Structure 1
């Protein structure tokens, strides 16, 4: 396995894709966008992609909404920063429906099959509600933009989740879906004649219920049969891409005692899958706080106590993260970003956060 960049600068120079992971509420979207701003200011052509129903990236950028295609914010960033931007800065928030349609069209050239899939309510429900579908669509966007030559760097802000590993498990979860007995029965060619007979038999029930569900179910099976081979190939290609030198993973976390075991487990899983983990971005640190002159002793003691607790958490976190894996010593970078006085609500704020990366190891 090749050497992992041990600095933020090395990571930005080496990787074409950075995937930021982390549980909800740690400021992952803001950190992802500000990292993109930093890269654009250093001459990179950057696109930041977020899969976030709460639309936090649009809020951070000071926009009402983001489109499915990249929005060029370079001029707005230059105005906010009060300086020239040597690179380019784009952002987008993919819409599930458009991503789903692009995925289906990439799997078959049979327009009749494509339209049958789009019309089928079971497949449409599957695309929205199946566990792992949202995470998979995020990966689909990653593959799409990784292949576009107009971008030097793609930053993917992963979907909010209580489990930081759910994003990585989406391809395997969808692959296992095709192994389920009911699905295999519906899509295997040997079963198509039997399925035709069952469709006729169930038509009696359908006349009684009037729901149309039986026809929808078998149409679902036929549609899956049309795309399953190409889809499974794509899942394997995505996994291979995630293991490539082009892609690095970053973890955004809060400097709390609870973060250390989470980070250790996350790194074990990343390395176990053959992915490249580059560094930890510790957001909302209190280490920069200095008690003001004249502040009460009680308040000073509280600040010092919180800072001591945070230093202990950081030491535990670093020890957990750098524990050697079975086959290599981990070389990671750590960046501590301070707790901000207010929420981020525009490019001016994002520019300010991006400057906090300056001097990072």
Structure 2
């Protein structure tokens, strides 16, 4: 099924996902859930039309619908995820009671896409497909505008050369620090909610997290942490597709210049960017700079980095800070999370 992705236009970020899937022999998925209030049984044809309008002709034939009685929510989500991970489908839908679990190949959707389609799927099932058809078509058109923008960058050479100020080294975490991890341990996620001023942004919090980490003893060596960014412009916020790419975060000003596009795109045209991308991928720490996931961290099947930090804006002033990984000591991570939270509240 993954070969189908070779026949359709994809962003550079999506192409990187496909390449990784071929290399690992396992597809990468993103998942979410939708609560549906249906008077009649779940109609697969409606979701097929959603895929047709939002992603294009042919992909509506790449959907797996799962309907099993007396299974838990955990099983329903897992079944959908596995269908996509095993490349049996590009889209998988698992219906249980009044809830619908959806998994999509990551080359076709990022978390922002899931946030776009959640209300559209709900509205299509409860009010009819006609009420969302224009928004789905717009999402598809905006994605193709993004593909054209990527091509224009190469053609017009509108890329700022990425500068490297010193040797770049991927961050490795201390084996005796509070974030020490081991593949043999169960992956856990701890979180804490902090209240900040209304003008504080997610980027400001991430910058302070970098300051905190650079002054701590958690980093054993290295100066480059991997992060992500949604590259939609303000007029592309409704675009449906994979438009989230990697960026580097420096804990010692090892690289400079703001990127104007993702490292996946940059690396195709600039050798320095390719070097930074490879460095990012080898980092033991990932800080999510894009949309938060639509499911709990414990339910995520694909984890590329040993340790991850996520910042989620809950409302005007509340943020949830999450730290996840296969940690040796839950208590140590909990203490670090409290210390980090206090640091952010005091410094922002």
TM range (shorter): under 0.3
- Please, what TM-score do these two structures have when normalized by structure 1? 0.24
The structure that is strand-richer by fraction is 2
**Pair member with larger Rg:** 1
- Please, what TM-score do these two structures have when normalized by structure 2? 0.25
The structure that is helix-richer by fraction is 1
